[in-house]
Structure 1
Amino acid sequence: MHKRNSRLVLAVVAAASAGALLAGCAGSGGTPTTEDGKAKVIFWQQKFEDYQQAWFKQQVADFNESQDEIEIEYTVVPADTWDQKLKAAQAAGKAPDVKTTNYGNIKPMQANGQLADLTTLMDDQAIADIKENVADFVTVDEGVYGYPMLVEPSTVLFYRTDLFEAAGIDAPPTTYEELIEDARALTKDGVYGMNVAQTAPDLGWSSWGGQWNTAGALPLRGDWSEAHATDPNYEKLASLYQTLYMDKLMPQEATYGYADCSFFGEGTVAMSACGSWALGQIAGNPDWTTTQENFAVAPFPSSDGDATKPTATLGGWTLTVDSKSKVQQQAADFVSYMLADNPENLVEFFAASGFSKYAATTSVDEALAADPEAAENPYMAIISEQIVAHAKGEPAYPWDVSLAFATALEKAMRGGDIEASFDEAQAAITDIIEKQKLAGMGTGE
């Protein structure tokens, strides 16, 4: 029997035995209920693109109509107030039962005892369905603390096919050397050859794939006892950024942040690094110079041309259940309904995204492969098979570490001495390790 079905019966019995006096409240340590006696589950979703809110809203409505034991109370929280509202709710003992959580927060939140283990609440088949290279993002020891909804690679190379043809370039670059060579050939007539992140906050996360690619590891690795920012392999990444910027092969001002592909869409650059979500942005701006007819995607070049090395990290979102929730099973049933029980739910979501986000479970991958619209999408196979398949997860260490390393990258990009810049990052990360007591807290990578 499906765990949800069996546990729903128990939930109904428990709710019925509680009596009418408990309707509309949480009895003494009991299940929070609505006025008509349903178990009440609070769901918070961080605000994303409009189509995502529409999808979540429909899923909540469908779930509430599909059964009469559980009622989902749905709230959309703006991203700029999310952390503040969540911390306030947790401090008041009113944290949402279910919430959207990004991969980078899973392990820190689990270490703080904030997340329920879904292996005790969801079917074994649903847990086994999580793709192998995604499972590690949500797994601690043998427990799974978030059910993945999607992945989106942080770095995809977008390029203009018409400008490539005009410059006599017949294929996207596969090495850093080829990228620079192509950027030089494409920088003309008021168009820059390339665009990458250029401020420390953007470089902090957009360069993770490049850090893995050049050095095979991040600057804080192992058990987090020692910084490795001076690993000489990182100099290849810094040199790439420095050449692109100092030789004016890329825009000189960060008019748009890395997550915004407007430079590329408006025709300011011939090539651009951006996340897969840029596909949705381009599709949503039909008046741009860049249209589906004149651009293509490829993996970002590898420093040495090895296409099996990671060039991107996988960001994305999960649904988590609060460890202190009094309706953990009902909350997990809702998660199963949306993300595990019916792959077609997510096929609809990915179609609405313009196929700019990618499956985190095998069953959804299979459903997408069988869907005519997905199968005909010109970008999906490239990003899924050539980028997502080799990508790494986002680091679990504090953001301060990434920002310290990115500050060195920005200094180097703008002409600073590369070795001296990384020496400064080494000192900064060493200080973070000491002050935040990170030694021994690492995950082993």
Structure 2
Amino acid sequence: MSTNISRRGLLGLGLGAAATGLLSACGSGTPGETSSQAAAGKAGATTIEFWHRTFTPVENTWYKNIVKKYNAAQSKVNVHDTEVPADAWDQKMKAAQAAGTAPDIYTHSGFIADAVRDEQLHKLNGIVPDEKLKEILPLAKNVSEIDGTYYAYPLLVEAQCVIFWNKDMLKAAGLDPEKGPKTWDELLAMCAKIKPTLKKGQYCIAPAQDADTFAWATVGQQYNFAGHTALTDDWTKPDISNDGYRNLMTSYKKLWDGGYMPKQALATYLTAQDFGQGKVAFKVSGSWMMSEIGSDYKAMLNKTGVGPFPSASSSIDRTATTLGNFKWVVDAKTKKADAAGEFLAWAIAGDTSNVVDFFEVTQYTKVPVRKSVQDAVAATDGAAKAPWSKIVTDEIAPKAIPEPTYSWDISLAVGTAMESVMKGAKSFEDATKTADAAIAKVIKRDGLAGKAPKK
């Protein structure tokens, strides 16, 4: 996931608003500030700075506790933990990097290619044991290594586009409450049956519906409809003026024109508020939304269906989602790389017991990147009570595609075209003409020709 403020980094704001106003008490008052008490009681210990974003309350607690456990478990390294509000992350990190005061280790979202090109990340090879790096499953390698060199260790991956449904609302419309739509044709047919049963203020579905959200949340759908994303294979030209993208954009226009979705979003794509309050029969969001349902809308847990996002009828064999992620990385300029590597290896690459409770408290909505952790999570008592976990882990995540490594500006051009077509502001031809011109400028600006990643 990229660092754009509209993306999953804002989940911490949506679910833990009270927590975002202040830095965690376990960190210093100012991100990057060294605590004079950090190594108290650990004479000779190497103190390292660890920054992580504000996430949901249960995630924040896990981060705080894992640092405490590590500091208590050994005497060589002392980790000074700082929680940074999600909306302040980019500004504070860029300022720290410019000043040469970046933390030794920190959380990182999205792809690592830009950061590696900018020489911001330290190689993990040599500071994290090779056997621990080899445990990273193939589904997460694309966000952790480049040409065999590891620069990041994922804590998790998560599907950015999942469809949730209210079983009671489907049943009231005479539909099977246990089955969600597998194709867009089925989705539209189900909405036609659901719409007459709804009360004022209720809608069939709450999907992505603004340019920023379309830009990142529909990358998998773009691949599903077109068999590729926004650029040609060699990254020399835009590739959205085709029937695949036309069909995707007009599918959203059918939801809009049919009155199946609200004209103004009832809640952000990132949160469960509209779904939890019974205002929509279907909600499209990331797999993380189930965590919010479990914490804030517990009565909905057994009434919520979860499944892969519907496919174009002609491409049911292709995924319709991308994989988001959060990883731990070590700063390239740190003078304490070995200590940072030891902490990382112990906390998220070591004993499975250190991370299993993370997946438990987040309601089994995220996917571990190590087989040993997946097995340990599946063996917990709670996993049997969370049927959506198996769907996300076994049916959705393994087929998902990685987020694109080209510039956000390209994704935003596509998102803007999608919003324009959906709302009828522009025809498909006019919208894609505008997008093509914007994308071509970015290709030239960034010198993308010939820089396409290996298949």
2:301 pairs with one of 275, 292, 296: 292
| Pair 1:94 & 2:105 matched | no
| Pair 1:174 & 2:187 matched | no
| Pair 1:248 & 2:259 matched | yes
Match of 1:4 in 2: none
1:337 pairs with one of 331, 342, 346: 346
Per-residue deviation at 1:255? 3.3
- Aligned alpha-carbon RMSD (Å): 1.8
Inter-partner Cα distance in structure 2 for 1:231 and 1:340: 44
Residue type at the aligned position of 1:423: K
The aligned length equals 412
Per-residue deviation at 1:404? 0.5
Per-residue deviation at 1:435? 2.4
TM-score normalized by the length of structure 1: 0.89
Per-residue deviation at 1:293? 2.6
Match of 2:192 in 1: 184
Q: Greater CA deviation, 419-428 or 244-253? A: 419-428
Mapping of residues 41-440 of structure 1, within 5 Å = 41-104=48-111, 106-170=112-176, 171-188=179-196, 189-190=198-199, 191-286=202-297, 291-304=300-313, 306-415=315-424, 416-440=426-450
Contact preservation (8 Å) 1:264, 1:272: yes
Per-residue deviation at 1:216? 1.8
Inter-partner Cα distance in structure 2 for 1:163 and 1:255: 18
Inter-partner Cα distance in structure 2 for 1:414 and 1:116: 45
Name the SS for the 2:329 alignment partner: strand
Contact preservation (8 Å) 1:147, 1:318: yes
Per-residue deviation at 1:307? 4.6
Unaligned 5+ residue runs, structure 1? 1-24, 26-31
Residue type at the aligned position of 1:49: T
Contact preservation (8 Å) 1:185, 1:193: no
Contact preservation (8 Å) 1:157, 1:272: yes
Name the SS for the 1:316 alignment partner: strand
Residue type at the aligned position of 1:443: P
Contact preservation (8 Å) 1:308, 1:390: no
Larger radius of gyration: 1
Per-residue deviation at 1:261? 2.3
Name the SS for the 2:141 alignment partner: helix
Identity among equivalent pairs (%): 33
Match of 1:6 in 2: none
Query: Cα deviation per residue 1:17-65 (whole Å; 9 max; x = unaligned)?
Result: xxxxxxxx9xxxxxx9888321111101111111111111111111111
Residue type at the aligned position of 1:186: I
Inter-partner Cα distance in structure 1 for 2:385 and 2:316: 24
TM-score normalized by the length of structure 2: 0.87
Inter-partner Cα distance in structure 2 for 1:103 and 1:131: 17
Unaligned 5+ residue runs, structure 2? 1-33
